[in-house]
Chain A
Amino acid sequence: MATQAAFMHGSKVETETFWGIVWSWLTTVDHKRIGILYGTSAFIFFLIGGIEALIMRLQLARPDNTLVGAERFNELFTMHGTTMIFLAVMPLSAAFFNYMIPLLIGARDVAFPRLNALSYWIFLSGALFLNSSWLFGLAPDGGWFGYANLTTIQFSPKHTIDFWMLGLQILGLSSMLAGFNFLVTIINMRAPGMTLMRMPVFVWMSFVTQFLLVLAFPAITVALILLMFDRFFGTLFYAPAAGADPLLWQHLFWIFGHPEVYILILPAMGIVSEVLPTFSRKPLFGAPVVIYSGIMIGFFGFGVWSHHMFSVGMGPVADAAFSISTMLIAVPTGVKILNWIGTLWGGSIRFKTPLYFSLGFIAMFTMGGLSGIMHASPPVDLQQTDTYFVVAHFHYVLFGGSIFGLFSGIYYWWPKINGKLLDERLGLWHFWLMMLGFNMTFFPQHYLGLIGMPRRIYTYAPDLGWNFWNLVSTIGAFLIAVSLLFFIANVIRTMRSGPVAGNDPWDGRTLEWSIPSPPPVYNFARLPEVQDRDDFWLQKYGDGHGSAPRPRPAPVTAAEIAAIHMPPTSYWPLLLGLALAVMVSGLMISMYQVVVGGLLTLYLMYKFAMELHRPSTGHGH
């Protein structure tokens, strides 16, 4: 068998040279490294999306401002939305899926490690492709939701929309491949004894999210394919002159778009469901109910999409049907909030940074949910839609919800990933400045919306009464930026000279705290035998009903470790990701490039599939 060093890093022994290290990252199939790649990329794009927002807020700080013009402003809000959703929040969630799911279910890696790497490289291709549009002066300008027929060739003749349309197709493929991977991983790679109901709630929320990914993205894929055919091949899907209905785009988009917002929030809800019990030293209150609520939200989330379309004239029956389904879906969400509060109630609370962000999540997400319930009523929504009231709503749920939840996860799992603790004081500066800045930015926008300020305008007249709160909102946005500087400073300082974390710095409940920080490449020297939810806590403290903690197992032997077989590195995922980008970008350049890129993609798919077929080491599969 291979030597210990060789199996640790795949078929090639990792060199200590700079390029050796770079190559080992480019060819990694280790879920932990892929998680770090996703997380780092996502944070960079979060900052880029944030800069896009700051420019918009600077422009809107004063009436009749001339910092950017209308066209540039369209590009900014399009790219800000697209970046934050597809290049920041989703890949940050993916970072946690990648790093944590195998650890939480007691596995050594995901079901398809090379496919996992492929998902990341396709993501990066798509992200760079989309943002390259800035360099060509062709940044997308049709909104992150790209409504037809504004986005057809007739009204958007330049390649701006093509960057958006093709970029999203690439990103969608990445998300779907990852979705299949984690679905199979969660179904089929759990440690012995870990039944579905014993899985941590973060894994359950991620499980539901993967279903949403693989079932919702096909709808936007079709919407984008129809747009692509209209723009490149002259079809008539979004051509009203030929009898087409522009609402087709809106329906297909929101059939994707509504499950998408649950994709954005469920992982953060899962993180909160891990953090609260740990820092309350109590199990999650009603864990099965939280799980069932998550499943219901996922399933019924496919039945509410037209609440984004109350103002288009669908008629009273459709309006009423979607209004009712939307109000119903608030119930399982509310149930979860009560369960989280029930977890804290009577707990022995330790106020650490992860807990602060989770508490912030509960408060901010609840506020966003309340404005959301208002939108569920069509007559009320007719006033609110396309105003800043909606902007306030979705930022409360997406920033106050998803981003706060994801930061809670970052602070919580940072010691496990990096082996170092983040500084608590800097963490609290980050939290409080972000809370203050976030609320300063978005709370006034409820009011601005209600007094009539529409969305997506690049400037406004000085006598409408909007001046003061727009200025406040802009100052708040810069406070958010300052808060992030505290986070970045925290990272830099503690990575250099921070305290070592150890296996279990938070006295945690779940399996990832039972292994070293950072974990060895094989995660668990010996796969755990799980007997209950929060099994690690029970191992440490017993079940609280009188039975003693479990006897310590015999120490792991070198022979056991030598018998572990980890998958080798592979460069096919990287090459395939590049080939895909070449093929897709060819649609804007030349059909020859599409054909060449397509043939290359097919060839690389073949090589990828054949890599493990009858390998020379002699394993039968």
Chain B
Amino acid sequence: MADHAAVHAIHDPNIGNTGLDNRKVGMWAFLGSDCMFFGSLIGTYLAYKGKSISGPLPHEVFDIPLTSYSAALLLASSLTMVLALAALQQNRLKPATGWLFATAMLGLHFVLNQVYEFTTFVLHHNLTLSTSLFGSSFFVLTGFHGAHVTGGVIWLLILVMLAMRGKLDARDYTKVEIAGLYWHFVDIVWIAIFTIIYLIP
């Protein structure tokens, strides 16, 4: 195993003594850290749940069908992401690019749904950042998740652009793999948020 890793090290500076790619190890470390970030935000939301002294209540404003559709979008996007990776591994660049683009579009659709949701809350329910503890904690928690999704969409679109210019192929598997890991993480955070914020009464 050490010899195998040593051979890799000569050819690929990214592979280390464990045989693993530095960037993949680094991305998992980052995702662990991001668990603490979202954990702190979720903890804040739960600490303040039910303690607002005025303003609309969660069940008065939540549109469960819309958010369920958004959840389905993200889950579907995780599927398209792994399909993109599977295609890339076999150097089938057209399907890989297509699936990457689909992932980005599903993510973009999610973000647009969220923009629609936020706008509805502000304009129709008079719920803003400053209305109540619910307004503050809801918008900040879901807003930061949405910002993570937006960052992911931009990252994916850059990969699509590189692929279309012939600058992305199976040699870049690890780079696309770590984009995928980030993307799936954003999906599982939504799984947690969707249940804890929207579904649990």
Contacts and interface: CB of A to CB of B under 8 A. Distances in A.
Interface of A: 111-112, 176, 179-181, 183-184, 187-194, 214-219, 221-223, 225-226, 229, 233-237, 242-245, 248, 252, 255, 565, 602, 606, 613-614, 620-621
A499 B22 CA distance: 41
A183 B29 contact: yes
- Chain B contact residues, majority secondary structure: helix
B52 A226 contact: no
Nearest to A245: B47
Given A234-B129, A243-B53, A188 B16 contact: yes
Contacts of B51: 243-245
Interface of B: 2, 6, 12-14, 16-18, 20, 22, 25-26, 29-30, 32-34, 36-37, 39-41, 44, 47-48, 51-54, 129-130, 132-133, 135-137, 139-140, 144, 154, 158, 162, 167, 171-172, 175
What 8 A-B pairs are tightest by C-beta distance, nearest first?
A188-B16, A235-B136, A222-B40, A218-B37, A234-B130, A218-B36, A214-B33, A111-B22
B18 A187 contact: yes
Interface centre among A176, A244, A614 (most CB of B within 10 A): A244
B25 A188 contact: yes
A180 B53 contact: no
Contact of B22 (A179, A188, A192, A222): A188
Contact of B132 (A183, A194, A236, A245): A236
Contact of A219 (B20, B36, B175): B36
A242 B133 contact: yes
Nearest to B47: A248
Contacts of B44: 222, 226, 237, 248, 252
A227 to B, nearest CB: 11
A620 B136 CA distance: 48
B29 A184 contact: yes
Contacts of B6: 192
A236 B29 contact: no
Interface centre among A181, A223, A243 (most CB of B within 10 A): A243
Contacts of A242: 52-54, 132-133
Contact of B129 (A183, A184, A229): A229
Contact of B17 (A190, A215, A226, A602): A190
B171 A620 contact: yes
A7 to B, nearest CB: 13
B32 A236 contact: no
B26 A180 contact: yes
A233 to B, nearest CB: 6
A214 B29 contact: yes
Contact of B133 (A234, A243, A252): A243
B32 A214 contact: yes
B53 to A, nearest CB: 4
Contacts of B167: 613-614
